[in-house]
Homo-oligomer: A and B are copies of this chain.
Amino acid sequence: MRPSGRKLDQMRAVSFERGFSKHAEGSCLVRFGDTHVLCTASLEERVPPWLRNGGKGWVTAEYGMLPRATGDRMRREASAGKQGGRTQEIQRLIGRSLRAVVDLEALGERQITIDCDVIQADGGTRTAGITGAWVALHDCLKWMEARSMVKVDRVLKDHVAAVSCGIFAGQSVLDLDYLEDSAAETDSNFVMTGSGGIVEIQGTAEGVPFSQEQFLELMLLARSGISGLVQMQKDTIA
């Protein structure tokens, strides 16, 4: 039995609130249950130094957490003077995941920065972030299309979404919330495209190593979860 009463293969309630931010070219508040992440896409007419004059663009991401997004207040990274290892790991993952479905040449020599800021956390902030970031990115490209800068379909090759799975109380479950995440024996994050391609896999044994069979079971759950998320993305932007 899961603490939330969900079935083993049941996602939390997911919602996308587009245009949450007045200023950003694209934005989306994504909710996976009590995990709420604000994703904004910011367009800049410049690229990082190593790409200059190459005709290619760039998509990058930053990740942050409000200090009291969590059960206990965490130290503000701006005040600590640096981003922690976990933050850097997550923002690198989000950036890679999005770039996997973007044609950087079709984007042109511009940079889109996706900020994923966790307003409230209850497990799965990175997977919610990736899933919402795709919507913000899409809307940013729509904004650009309206100004004849790009064709959305040429730049955005596919959907991308993510979900976590894990072994909780001996059973494989989909979309871990914080209570499950804290107690899980194994925690895996999967990032996949709308057409089912795998973009990223991160599997970690917390305590006991896991077997290949267990891992395949988790991947099966993830595939079904991501398939649902992609459908919701489609409904959202329709």
CB within 8 Å of B: which residues of A? 21-24, 27, 34, 38, 40, 42, 44, 62, 64, 66-71, 73, 76-89, 91-92, 96, 100, 113, 115, 117, 119-122, 158, 188, 192-193, 195-205, 207-212, 215, 219
Contacts and interface: CB of A to CB of B under 8 A. Distances in A.
A85 B76 contact: no
A198 B219 contact: no
A24 B158 CA distance: 38
Contacts of A78: 64, 76-78, 80, 82-83, 87
A-B pairs, top 5 by smallest CB distance, nearest first, are A197-B209, A85-B88, A77-B78, A201-B203, A42-B73
A192 B204 contact: no
A66 B21 CA distance: 11
A82 B78 CA distance: 5
Nearest to A74: B42
A209 B202 contact: no
Contact of A198 (B27, B40, B212): B212
Contacts of A81: 81-82
Contacts of A188: 201
Contacts of A192: 209
Contacts of A24: 68
